[in-house]
Amino acid sequence: MPSGLDFARIRAALAASLHFRSLPAEDLDRLAALGRLRTLEDGELLLRASAEQSSLWIVIEGCLRLSTVTQSGREFVYAVIGPGNHYGLGSVLRGRTPPADVHAAGPTTLAVLDGPSLLKLFDERPRLWRHVANLIYMRLTLAMVTLRDVNVAPLPQRIVRRLLGHAISSGQDVGTSSMLELRITQSELGRMLATSRSRVNGALKGLEKSGLLKVGYRTITLADVPRMRELAGADLFSF
């Protein structure tokens, strides 16, 4: 059981999370009671790809950067996830993590939920298994949409979808906001989209000229979120 202040922070994060806020208050209390806080410095390694671990991490503050490096040395960034987002659910179920390195992106605070205790809670409250299945379904759907986009979507639309998904993953509200600023570089965006920085730069210039976004130093401002949502289409998902 975490201390009173730690419990309150974890409980508040769960209640605000897109992924957990639909749960009854009693379930949120039980989940928060399993957590402990851990802090990371900017760039600190949390986990190596495919390392054994059995905890669920929920971001309280800051972000986690999920990436992998190929044998040729090329990096691919799966996502940068922010407050309220989770990572490690598959590890809780299987005991191994997906093939991604996990680093802190900025000073970061996590809630760490012990895997065996979490599984015991799921068995005590079978309705939580349905929630787990829904979380896994959301990630599977994201993988399918991403695979489709890589093969058929034009690059400008892929960029818009990825930026909006990145905003959601970082804990921002794209449903009611008209303008949002993201801390992301063109190189990072290119690694997320598995394409070159020069191609990303060209597509961003076109989107900037149309008034959809503004490119700054290590930032991209979504200048017209409603129009970007229209261009992105209905099946918009975050990591």
Given a cut of 70, whether residue 99 has pLDDT beyond it is yes
Given a cut of 80, whether residue 113 has pLDDT beyond it is yes
Parent domain of 197: 154-232
Average of per-residue pLDDT across 102-125: 95
Q: In terms of Cα–Cα distance, which of 168, 162, 159 is closest to 210?
A: 159
CB-based burial label for 151 (10 Å; 0-12, 13-18, 19+): exposed
Q: How far is CA 139 from the centre of its chain?
A: 10
Q: Is residue 61 part of a domain?
A: yes
Domain count, the chain: 2
Model pLDDT for residues 11-34, shown as the tens digit of each residue = 999 999 989 999 999 999 999 999
Model pTM?
A: 0.84
Q: How many CB atoms lie within 10 A of CB 26?
A: 9
Whether 222 and 163 share a structural domain: yes
Whether 30 and 113 share a structural domain: yes
pLDDT value, residue 130: 96
Give the CA dihedral 76, 164, 41, 50, nearest 10 degrees. Answer: -40
Whether 101 and 181 share a structural domain: no
Q: Which CATH number characterizes residue 164's domain?
A: 1.10.10.10
Q: Is residue 227 part of a domain?
A: yes
Domain boundary among 108, 143, 178: 143
